[in-house]
Amino acid sequence: MLKFILRRLFFEALPTLFVIATLTFFMVRLAPGGPFSREKQVSAEVQRRLDAYYGLDKPLVVQYGRYLANVARGDLGPSFKHATESVNSLIARAFPVSLELGLWALLFAIVTGIGAGIVASLRPNTWTDAGPMTLAMAGICLPSFVLGPLLLLLFGLTLGWVNVAGWNTAGDRILPAITLGAGYAAYLARLTRAGMRDILSQDFIRTARAKGVSEHNVIYDHALGNALMPTITIIGMDVGTLLGGVVLTETVFSIPGMGRLLVEAINQRDTPCVLGTLVIMAICVAVSNLIVDLIYAYIDPRIRAQYGAKARKA
């Protein structure tokens, strides 16, 4: 298993991060304008000193090489728009906020999505099936940039139950987590229902029931683990989608996280901040995919046996 983890890190995660960093660097640097183009007009001497201080007077290839070397050391560089702070400090302040929001949204999506899918699969073609699946379809069709303002209008402005912006109280977590996790929960609900219906129709389930195994044990010991394998895959693969939703959700709810930091950095042409934010997001996606693979191995003994056999053969 250790060899599997190392192989995933060195042959998949690191090349992906390299490609993302490279494409983002050249796309941002080759865009028209510059990081100081919106500032008031300065003299040529001041502009020259700014370029020299930030290394913008060097050839693009040299800038790229320095950037990769700094990233390899964990240094994401100085911020162009926050003269007293580095990109590392900006991300260190914003990342915990986005991580907490993402975890709350993921928890909401897993609990409600998988729970609704299980309930719907147990009694197909009844109201306990049609109700959750109708809500799931509505969640799929309603994007977060529409759902968020609607929730704000109803629960924030009309009813006054929660704050309309900020990240200070426990109540400030509720609406953003629902907004970010609703569409995710809808996909998980429909996928879980389909997986459960397929597994419950298998011969080994009929055999378990014929042997007198209780329905509770049939569902949770025999069916659920097998049915959740595709769902776990989607959970890992869609973390990138969840991070993309963080950008919209944090902007709508004025949350000081990574998504809002990225939007402000793009608007201000703060190249190091844009690059650093995207690299951290890519690392999060790579780590989540690795965690999904480990969960796979924990749930399915065949995968553990497969990697164990490969290790013994090596």
Q: What is the pLDDT of residues 35-54, one digit of tens each?
A: 666 555 666 777 778 778 77
Mean pLDDT, to the nearest integer, of 99-103?
Answer: 88
Would you place residue 195 in the very low, low, confident or very high pLDDT band (cuts 50, 70, 90)? confident
For residue 249, how many other CB atoms are within 10 A of its CB?
A: 29
Rounded-to-integer distance, Cα 10 and Cα 126, Å: 49
Question: Which of 141, 93, 120 lies closest to 194, judged by CA?
Answer: 120
Looking at the DSSP bridge assignments, the partners of residue 86 are 78
pTM of the full structure? 0.78
CB 94 within 8 A of CB 261: yes
CB 62 within 8 A of CB 54: no
Name residue, tokens 């109803």.
Answer: 154
Q: What is the pLDDT of residues 108-147, one digit of tens each?
A: 988 998 888 888 888 888 888 888 888 888 887 888 888 8
* CATH number for the domain whose boundaries are 87-313: 1.10.3720.10
Cα atoms found within 13 Å of the Cα of residue 33, Cβ hemisphere only? 12
CB 249 within 8 A of CB 176: yes
Rg (CA), the chain: 24
Q: What is the pLDDT of residues 206-231, one digit of tens each?
A: 888 888 888 878 888 778 877 877 77
Question: Any idea where the domains of the chain sit in the sequence?
Answer: 87-313
For residue 20, how many other CB atoms are within 10 A of its CB?
A: 18
CB 239 within 8 A of CB 285: yes
The structure tokens listed for 217 are: 């044990």
Rounded-to-integer distance, Cα 136 and Cα 83, Å: 46
Kindly report the three-state secondary structure assignment for every residue of 222-262. HHHHHHHHHHHHHHHHCHHHHHHHHHHHHHHCCCCCHHHHH
- Reply yes or no on whether the pLDDT at 4 is more than 80: no
Would you place residue 244 in the very low, low, confident or very high pLDDT band (cuts 50, 70, 90)? low
